[in-house]
Chain A
Amino acid sequence: MSRRILLRLLGAIPLLFVISLLVFFISQAGPADPIRDALSQKMTAHQIAQIRNAYGLDKPVYEQYLNWVKSLFTNGGGISLIVRSQVSGIVLPAFRNTLLLVAAATLLAVVLGVAIGFVAGIRHGRLADRLTMLLVQIGSNLPVYWFGLIIIWLTAVEWGWLPAGGMHDLRNGGGFGDLLLHLIAPAFAASLVGMLIIARFVRAAVIESEQSDYIRTYRSQGFGQAAILGKHVGRNILPPIVNTTGLVIGSVITGAVFVEVIFSWPGIGSVLLNAIPGADYPVIQGGILLVAVTFVVINLVTDIVLDLLNPRLRHGGA
């Protein structure tokens, strides 16, 4: 068991290396020369060359790569070309906000997705199931951007229940309850796609499980519906739910970036989108690397949880 986990951890190392290479490549392949763009009007060619030297941009590519990796650990990912402060100081606080949004959205996606899937699966073929599946089909094809706008319109403008955007109420200083109020709508919008994937998946698993021989046997022996669902159907679809959740997190992260813009949530997506027009490569690279590494870690954790849930692995075995 621990051997298997160790192997999984070791397997992530080449992946992280490749990701870091690709992210580093962004600044090499980009069309813009950020130093010249940012400075050329005010400086002579000699001064520009000096700055290039100060940033290490006149060194061979592999040396630049090593310097960049080193700077990630020692210098907070380098200095932003535009804001002139450490990348980590720009990227980390924004990333914390994104992580909060992603965590809330994932929680919503799992809870609501499983609930929807369970209800539809148990009522398989009846009106409730067909209505749910129609809504699932429509929801899966809604443009997230518009969906977010409609949520703002309903919850903030029409009903006045929730704030229209941002993370804190600037007037009364915030607090946890205030943060939660600001979190509900964007988290729901970001969770939609993943929630519906999980719902469809759980529905199929429940239907399959319901029709299996062993469930029929339990039923014929007079076990109640609740006991069968909770103890047997539930336990059998738990590993696939964990697995699907791991797969869905990628789309939740993507959804979160869309949602940040709509709800003015001060997250990493907004930081990256603002950095792209100015070709602020240190910020772009730092931000993308941070999210990609987080994704790899989440996947790793999912795999390990799945291993732990697998009784064949838990009781001895490979």
Chain B
Amino acid sequence: MSAAAAGLVVDAPPRLRRSPLARLVRSREAVLGLVVIGVVVIVSVLAPLLAPQDPNAGHPDSVLAAVGSPGHLLGTDEQGRDVLSRLIYGGRAALYVSVVSVALALAIGTALGLIGAFAGRRTSGLLMRTIDLLFAFPVILVALSLAAVLQPGPWVLIGTVVFGAVPYVTRIVYAEAKVEREKEYVEAARSLGASEAAILATEVLPNIVSSVVIYGTGLIGVNIVFTASLSALGLGVQPPDADWGRMISEGAKVLVTGSPGVATFPAVAILLVALAFNWLGDGLRDVLNP
């Protein structure tokens, strides 16, 4: 996207000529999302420094301490473990798993989508038909199968998210690449003798990357919620490690018996982070695809 695209930018209304970053900062929800995500990432990285106590050390003498009790700002769980410390550690697995799996899904989906758009009719038809069949497949079956094969753990979560997300990413990339393929700049590159592979990599890919990034940002949020539920079922992060999803299922027993915080604090954390990724994704959409 060289000369032709440059010409477009000059014709664009002045609002669009501001740098993307400046426009992102003007979007209130994007900034809010970025701040929440930034705080959670920093807290997760610095967890060993920030957590007031060992997240996995139980204290039999201070079981189910109330919120605000001395030494336990958010109380303790059934085993006397400090809820605040577990909350600080509990986002690590969720962020790691969601980011890694969404990155994998975006890479695979983009490759498949581009192949679908540029391959011959038969390959393309077969590929996209297969993708259609995988669309909306109940991913819990994938999670259960992987747990039976691999034993429960982070790879079960990553594999499940990738399987569930690839069809959607492929569809988006396929649809966009098909549109781009017919545009004049691609024809111009082709007439200049560029190979199909070079056109894909240097002309088409840069033009669809923004859609992929926007979709991927929202996807991270969706999957922080989803993988938390899988971990709550026992298919993901294993005890005694602190994890927001597991904290919910571990706090389930005491939710109705006077300690609702044990399960509710991690649920609120999940909700906030997921919303933050949604807001950032919406903000990015306004900036990148106005």
Distance in angstroms between the alpha carbons of A250 and B149 in the assembled complex: 22
Chain A residue nearest to B268 in the complex (CB): A146
Once A254-B139, A257-B140, A295-B138 are accepted as A-B contacts, the answer to whether A30 and B149 lie under 8 Å apart by CB is yes
Q: Are A250 and B137 within 8 A (Cβ)?
A: yes
Which chain A residues in 267-311 approach chain B with CB under 8 Å? 269, 272-273, 275-276, 279, 281, 284, 288, 291-292, 295
Stretch of A110-118, A134-142, A175-183, A207-215 lying at the B interface: A134-142
Q: Which residues of A contact B21 (CB under 8 A)?
A: none
Q: Which residues of A contact B263 (CB under 8 A)?
A: 146, 149
* Cβ-defined partner of A254 (8 Å) among B138, B148, B255: B138
Q: Are B278 and A141 within 8 A (Cβ)?
A: yes
Q: Are A284 and B140 within 8 A (Cβ)?
A: no
Q: Are A145 and B249 within 8 A (Cβ)?
A: yes
* Cβ-defined partner of B151 (8 Å) among A26, A31, A142, A269: A31
- Interface secondary structure of B, over-half rule: helix
Which chain A residues in 224-257 approach chain B with CB under 8 Å? 246-251, 253-254, 257
Once A29-B149, A143-B232, A146-B248 are accepted as A-B contacts, the answer to whether A288 and B141 lie under 8 Å apart by CB is yes
Q: Which residues of B contact A284 (CB under 8 A)?
A: 144-145, 148
Q: Are B138 and A291 within 8 A (Cβ)?
A: yes
* Cβ-defined partner of A288 (8 Å) among B144, B260, B278: B144
Q: Are A143 and B275 within 8 A (Cβ)?
A: no
Q: A55 in the interface, Cβ–Cβ < 8 Å? A: no
Q: Which residues of B contact A65 (CB under 8 A)?
A: none
Q: Are A145 and B248 within 8 A (Cβ)?
A: yes
| From B135, B138, B147, B267, residue with most partner A Cβ within 10 Å | B138
> Shortest CB–CB separation between residue B63 and chain A, in angstroms?
20
* Cβ-defined partner of A143 (8 Å) among B139, B140, B225: B225
| From B141, B232, B278, residue with most partner A Cβ within 10 Å | B141
* B 246-279 binary contact with A (CB < 8 Å = 1; else 0): 0011001001100010011011001100110010
Q: Are B148 and A30 within 8 A (Cβ)?
A: yes
Q: A15 in the interface, Cβ–Cβ < 8 Å? A: yes
Q: Which residues of B contact A258 (CB under 8 A)?
A: 140, 229, 232-233
- Interface secondary structure of A, over-half rule: helix
* Cβ-defined partner of A142 (8 Å) among B136, B141, B150, B271: B271
Q: Are B133 and A26 within 8 A (Cβ)?
A: no
Interface size class of A (residues with CB under 8 A): 35 or more
Distance in angstroms between the alpha carbons of A272 and B149 in the assembled complex: 13
Q: Are B229 and A143 within 8 A (Cβ)?
A: yes
Which chain A residues in 21-45 approach chain B with CB under 8 Å? 22-23, 26, 29-31
* Cβ-defined partner of B138 (8 Å) among A141, A142, A251: A251
Q: Which residues of B contact A30 (CB under 8 A)?
A: 148-149
Distance in angstroms between the alpha carbons of A246 and B278 in the assembled complex: 25
Q: A167 in the interface, Cβ–Cβ < 8 Å? A: no
Interface size class of B (residues with CB under 8 A): 35 or more
Q: Which residues of B contact A218 (CB under 8 A)?
A: none
Which chain B residues in 188-245 approach chain A with CB under 8 Å? 221-222, 225, 228-229, 232-235, 244-245
Q: Are B256 and A262 within 8 A (Cβ)?
A: no
* Cβ-defined partner of A247 (8 Å) among B136, B234, B260, B271: B136
Q: Are A141 and B275 within 8 A (Cβ)?
A: yes
Q: B152 in the interface, Cβ–Cβ < 8 Å? A: yes
Q: Which residues of B contact A254 (CB under 8 A)?
A: 138-140
Q: Which residues of B does A touch, CB under 8 Å?
A: 133, 135-141, 144-145, 147-152, 221-222, 225, 228-229, 232-235, 244-245, 248-249, 252, 255-256, 260, 263-264, 266-267, 270-271, 274-275, 278
Question: Beyond the given A30-B149, A143-B248, A250-B136, could you list 20 further A-B residue pairs with CB under 8 A, ordered by the A residue number?
Answer: A29-B149, A31-B150, A31-B151, A137-B278, A138-B275, A141-B271, A142-B225, A142-B271, A143-B245, A143-B270, A146-B267, A149-B255, A249-B138, A254-B138, A254-B139, A258-B232, A262-B252, A276-B148, A291-B138, A292-B137
Q: Which residues of A does B touch, CB under 8 Å?
A: 15, 22-23, 26, 29-31, 137-138, 141-146, 149, 152-153, 157, 246-251, 253-254, 257-258, 261-262, 269, 272-273, 275-276, 279, 281, 284, 288, 291-292, 295
11 contacts between A and B (CB under 8 A): A31-B151, A141-B225, A141-B275, A143-B225, A146-B263, A146-B270, A149-B263, A254-B140, A281-B148, A288-B141, A295-B137
